[in-house]
Amino acid sequence: MTIERFDAPFALVRYRSDGGTQLGLLVGDRVRDLGPDDLGAATLNDFLADPDWDRLTRLASESTDTRPVAELTLVAPVEPRQVLQTGANYRQHVIELVVAGLTQDGTRTPDQARSFAADIMDERKRSGEPYFFIGLPAAVVGDDVPLVLPAYSNVHDWELELAVVIGREAFRVSRENALDHIAGYTIVNDITTRDLVFRKDMKEIGTDWYRAKNAPGFLPTGPLLVPAPFVDGSNLNVRLELNGEVMQDASTSDLLFDIPALVSGASQTMPLLPGDLLLTGSPAGNGQHWKRFLRDGDVMTGSIEGLGTQVVRCVAEPRSGTEATTQEPRS
């Protein structure tokens, strides 16, 4: 395991050990084990509820009992109880989608459609609200787990996202106080099966995010949890390469609703708990845009400035003799 684009004084990681999963403190390219006595808390989520970064700063200054991160198999750095996802939140991405729809019948030129779409987005930012839906925590895995592409579709897509890791419980918090409830940040690739997004049997129902986004391993996460004091989430480069070719390359400065607005908005309905993930949306450049979807053998390299790099390898699920529209239950 190598860590790239990581320059914070330290980060939290979780890795496979003989006893299961071990929490560690990453300093440079070496990891120190963290136990309850080191954290001053029984579990990672208990620590995130009231994170003492000064405590970890002191531990980071000690060089004893560490091992090279290259020798470890990192797993997802968080154990969320809830996963909140944000849709249509990159201004330029949404403008491109609107332009594609408005220019199909020839009534508008691309420039006219782009101006119209930009006005819609600006008004949405002024007076609208973020669009949230929920994911399953069971879909959260590390990039150590290959992404199995379900055989029931050929249109599985990538969506690299900056993810907020909740610290102190947030319930109906204001935008002004929202950052006080963020423990840190990580990387999530929100995998989506495009032909399952909209119901075909009853279009009036609309989107089906459960089937489209929650297959096993559809939320590759990590490999790092970087503490919030070391990250300015308002202007980070988000970049995804597919087999070495750049597909997504944007900045979080293009978010329609910024991170404080997202935390505040998501907290109005249900309390956000320590360790929960709040995905902030994905920029332009997914497979639907390129008309190219994930295949067996593909390698996705996703990086977000200051948060490291995740490498996800795709493998095809073996096809049965009879194709089904839904995935067969796993034993």
pLDDT score of 2: 54
> What's the pLDDT band for 223 if we cut at 50, 70, 90?
very high
Q: Is the pLDDT of residue 325 over 70?
A: no
Q: How far is CA 85 from CA 30, 76, 266, 298, in A?
A: 32, 17, 9, 25
pLDDT, tens digit, 9 for 90 and up, residues 144-154: 999 999 999 99
Q: How far is CA 299 from CA 303, 310, 330, in A?
A: 13, 10, 25
pLDDT, tens digit, 9 for 90 and up, residues 202-217: 878 888 999 999 999 9
pLDDT, tens digit, 9 for 90 and up, residues 287-319: 988 999 999 999 999 999 999 999 999 999 987
Q: How far is CA 311 from CA 147, 177, 299, in A?
A: 10, 34, 7
Q: Is the pLDDT of residue 321 over 60?
A: no
**Which range among 121-125, 160-164, 249-253, 280-284 shows the weakest confidence by mean pLDDT?**
121-125
Q: Which residues have a Cβ under 8 Å from the Cβ of 98 and sit 6 or more positions away? A: 113, 116, 117, 120
Q: What is the DSSP secondary structure assignment for residue 118, as one 8-state letter?
A: H
> What's the pLDDT band for 331 if we cut at 50, 70, 90?
very low
Which tokens belong to 75?
């797993």
- Confidence (pTM): 0.91
Which tokens belong to 303?
């990086």
Tell me the average pLDDT of the chain: 91
Q: In what order do the strands lie in the sheet with 147-149?
A: 147-149, 309-316, 299-304, 237-242, 245-251
All domains in the chain, ordered by first residue: 11-75 (no CATH), 83-89+130-316 (3.90.850.10), 91-129 (no CATH)
